[in-house]
Copies of this chain bind each other. A is one copy, B any other.
Amino acid sequence: MQEFSVWAPDAKKVTLEVEGTRVAMEQAQHGWWLASVESAGHGTNYGFLLNDDEKIYPDPRSGWQPDGVHGLSRVYDPAQFKWTADDFKAPPLSDAIIYELHIGTFTPEGTFDAAIGKLDYLRDLGVTHVEIMPVNSFEGTRGWGYDGVTLYAPHQAYGGPEALQRLVDALHAHGLAAMVDVVYNHFGPAGNYAPQFGPYMDPKHSTPWSSAINLEDAGSTGVRRFLIDNSLHWLRDYHFDGLRLDAVHSLVDRSALHFLEQLRESVDKLSAETGRPYTLVAESDANDPRLVTPIDGSGLGMDAQWSDDFHHALFALLTGERGGYYADFGSLKQLAKALTCVFVYDGQFSEYRGRVQGRPVVGLRADKFLGYIQNHDQIGNRAFGGRIGQVAGLRKAKMAAAIVLTAPFVPMLFEGEEFAASTPFQYFTDFTDEELRKAVSEGRRQEHAPPGVDWQDVPDPEDPQTMERSKLRWDELKEPEHAEMLAWYRALIKLRRERGELRDTELSHIYVSCDEEQRWLRMVRGLTTVLVNFGKDAQSLEMLGPKRVVLASDSAVELTDNAVRVPGESVAILVAE
């Protein structure tokens, strides 16, 4: 016996099509339609017909789309999976090191099951959390996942629902926490049938991708339920330990109860039921500390947010790039401010944005913010998907790694970063409609072509090779320069895990000084001091008390009586004797 239900508040009639037969659904309260079918259950194919329309639509809440987003839905019973590592408990963010990965490019096979084969490696690397880019179903096979339309169904090209459960279970068995990226600010441009069922969209507001999702107007109560239930679905049925919420600055919600606060409350309720803690991390461009302020402090209650200002300050300094949003960055002082105050723009005028941006972080700990030198956007939104090592060279990539992994924020790495993967992470899609393919293929390339580069020389998102060349090449680990970088990351991660002061998240405990002319920066974190020489030439930096060098990105680092001679473009990490 299977109960079917669907929210279609404006429909006059809803028909269930299940294994070739049609069942008239019964109208229930609040726009819901119900039917139960004796012969149906796990594995049954079905769809819905609306009013007198003969088209069979997939279920907006479908848990399985074996034939893609346009095909029939299939009943998936998550309870049939046998979990093996249920005693796992995720460590708190203050102890976390996050590893972001994209299932399709993390392994040659590009599947959930293939990813399982790399978990020994990730455990040995020393990361604590794996954050998986969106696993929701999107049109075609290839994509980053942010064009999701059937938000409850794990993408079939990755292996579908049971394979995802296997991966999460295996992560836990390896002592790794599992997080998944969810996208609630827009639907993808193809295969989005939800608006046929109800007022999912709010045409009064637009986002960079489409109309906003309806979070505040008539019908929004059901739409919010749809999204929050989606979160609960990943946490409860797939045992994820947390979510990464995409671009929450693009949500439009002026309700008295903000969507994110409602989500926090719902997730906490589930947590009280299951006894497991759940972590909510949001991507936000607003530099608004209210996002990560607890609800009882009148905040939105997210556990943490991505902190782009730290990235931009560090990246602009290392690469010298000043295009796009890097126009606002480039000074050592800004990196120092990011390390101590989190937001570089906390009430200043941003030339790039053409307006004042942000407000100061007050009374929040550093584990409310993720720090990184690479993530899918910062690599993949470059025309050629080049990584920091390709853009700035491996010497500087090592400097960046040391700063990220000794900074007060929760460090996050992007797949392959730890071995300076030579493979890019490019933007790839796989749409069906010819016009859409052309619009994406040309629009994307024209938007992202750097000055002086013909847009037609930029990799074509629709070309299957674009995804193919973005796949990690694990055999690179055998090559010395990659092995060396991996050893560097491992050593840094080990140091962070061993030295408690590096995990001290009280921002007032961090002392940073820098010299814009001399191009050095000193970060003191309790007994550990990080000395960074951004200049070309070696320079002697005051030691401030007896110390020993525990790690250095250049072996030519030298201790003298009261100083450390740090080679150009390198970093030395010292510990007080």
Contacts and interface: CB of A to CB of B under 8 A. Distances in A.
A297 interface: yes
Given A205-B204, A205-B205, A218 B354 contact: yes
Given A205-B205, A355-B217, A252 B255 contact: no
- Count copies of this chain in the complex: 2
Interface string A336-363: 0000000000110100011111110000
A299 B297 CA distance: 11
A214 to B, nearest CB: 9
Nearest to A223: B355
Given A205-B204, A205-B252, A206-B204, A355 B220 contact: yes
B255 A353 contact: no
A286 interface: yes
A219 interface: yes
Contacts of A293: 298
Interface string A193-230: 00000000000111000000000111111000000000
A191 to B, nearest CB: 25
Contacts of A204: 205-206
Chain A binding surface SS class: loop
A473 interface: no
Contacts of A297: 298
A113 to B, nearest CB: 40
Contacts of A355: 216-221
A249 interface: yes
**Interface-centre pick from A252, A256, A290 (highest chain B CB count, 10 A):** A256
A478 interface: no
A237 B504 CA distance: 52
Interface string A232-252: 000000000000000001001
Given A205-B252, A252-B205, A298-B298, A347 B257 contact: yes
Q: Which 8 A-B pairs have the closest CB atoms?
A: A218-B354, A298-B298, A256-B288, A256-B359, A221-B355, A220-B355, A221-B356, A204-B206
16 contacts: A30-B349, A204-B206, A205-B205, A205-B206, A220-B355, A221-B354, A249-B254, A254-B286, A255-B288, A256-B286, A256-B290, A256-B357, A256-B359, A257-B347, A297-B298, A298-B299
